[in-house]
Amino acid sequence: MNQKWNANDPSRRRFLRAAGWLGSIGAFGGAKALAADAPTAQLPFANGQRELTRAFPQKGEMLLLRTRPPMLETPFDVFDQGVFTPNNRFFVRWHLAYIPTQIDAESFRLNVHGQVAKPLTLSLKQLMSEFETVEIAAVNQCSGNSRGLFHPRIAGGQWANGAMGCARWTGVRLKDILDKAGVNADAVQVRFKGLDSGVLPATPAFLKSLDIDHARDGEVMVAWGMNDEQLPLLNGFPLRLIVPGWYSTYWVKMLSDIEVLDKPDTNFWMAKAYLIPDTPHAAVVPGQTGYKSVPINRMVPRSFITNLRDGDKVLAGHATQVRGIAFGGDAGIAKVLWSADGGAHWEESTLEQDHGKYSFRRWHAKYTPSAKGENTLMVKAVNTNGVEQPAEANWNPGGFMRNVIESVKVQVG
């Protein structure tokens, strides 16, 4: 995590002015009705046709999974354009139907309470001026990214591989906020809540919690900036929790409430939802029961080829660059291996600039096919903890944590 701005940096004042302006418009409410003849894209599984939409505020062309609450997937070709995913193409996933369409940045407050010596009510200006500002590059990935590729199929959002993105997040350490409040000695967990809510009173509030030591590790942060801009409304304006190396379900958007607990959180979103089998790679056999479950937590490594797609044509005897992105999950990338023969032989690729252990990292290799026909290219990442992508896909009832080795079939002519 890098320090970026000092306490009186004019960038913060510009942000507050910008936030006040953007937060005052009815951005989300301006979404247009979707046209009947909207363009579509076909994702690589049954019933994978998706509408391409530009109807959502602050968003460019996105794959539409659901309108309310919105679920928007990043078209995969965006990931070939660079390490950092543009804000207007960054995926969106909300759980509850009601999302504020207007937030007054001047009157907004972040409340800190519970097992603390001094409850806090912090304005955006206080957060930007009374704490050290830090920045971190980190991947945000939905727990169910790639769920549409599970066999047998699983209920839930049928994502392809675009429910992920990498950004530079700017904000303050959660540890510093908790230290200012003075955490009591009997604190066990810290619970987070945003401004979204359900349509019915009985709908459980979306609450997520981290163990106290994790919350105070100095990496978890409260961010207002994303790629040097304010957070888009649909990505959590004005504040969201950043939990580097962990799945996105913990990255609470429109963060407004932090509560320190003296016992483990048993609310619906911790005790019932987002559970994984407590087995290697969270894998079970379809239909299996009787296993212990735990809340989903750390991400696992993944890698992708981004400049070639199934069916692309390349020439025999001519060099072609193969490139892509990789990330190590909860650790950095140690190496990215690629294969030009369906996994029979593997070579080490060239890694490009390192933006930190939680970031996407670009890789590339030179591919010179020798014979005509179909060729299967494969890629796998190994993180600095020695964890390697598996050859066989995992399966669990939530459709979580897919990270099987990816492949692309090209035609050599």
CA 195 to chain centre: 19
pLDDT digits (tens, 9 = 90+) for 110-155: 999 999 999 999 999 999 999 999 999 999 999 999 999 999 999 9
CA distance 410 to 341: 11
Give the model's pLDDT for residue 283: 98
Give the model's pLDDT for residue 92: 98
CA distance 412 to 346: 19
Reported as a pLDDT band with limits 50, 70 and 90, residue 1 is: low
28 pLDDT exceeds 50? no
pTM value?
A: 0.92
Count other Cβ atoms within 10 Å, centred on residue 191. Answer: 20
Residue type, 411: Q
Nearest to 29 by CA among 54, 53, 55, 6: 55
Taking the alpha carbons at both ends of the chain, their separation in whole angstroms is: 47
Neighbouring-strand partners of residue 225: 170, 230
pLDDT digits (tens, 9 = 90+) for 351-399: 999 999 999 999 999 999 999 999 999 999 999 999 999 999 999 999 9
Which residues have CB under 8 Å from 92's CB, separation 6+?
A: 56, 59, 62, 70, 71, 72, 234, 235
SS3 164: strand
Nearest to 309 by CA among 185, 190, 410: 410
| Contact between 329 and 302 (Cβ < 8 Å) | yes
* Residue with tokens 């290697």, as numbered in its chain: 280
CA distance 59 to 89: 6
**What are the structure tokens assigned to 189, written together?**
């967990």
Share the mean pLDDT of the chain: 92
CA distance 273 to 398: 9
CA distance 406 to 399: 17
Nearest to 379 by CA among 331, 342, 352: 342
CA distance 350 to 336: 8
| Contact between 342 and 406 (Cβ < 8 Å) | no
CA angle 88, 90, 95 (to 5 degrees): 115
Give the model's pLDDT for residue 165: 98
Count other Cβ atoms within 10 Å, centred on residue 101. Answer: 14
**What are the structure tokens assigned to 273, written together?**
């939802």
CA distance 245 to 123: 28
SS3 281: helix
Q: Determine the average pLDDT of the residues in 39-53.
A: 95
Give the model's pLDDT for residue 19: 45
CA distance 85 to 73: 12
Residue type, 54: R
pLDDT digits (tens, 9 = 90+) for 293-338: 999 999 999 999 999 999 999 999 999 999 999 999 999 999 999 9
Reported as a pLDDT band with limits 50, 70 and 90, residue 4 is: very low
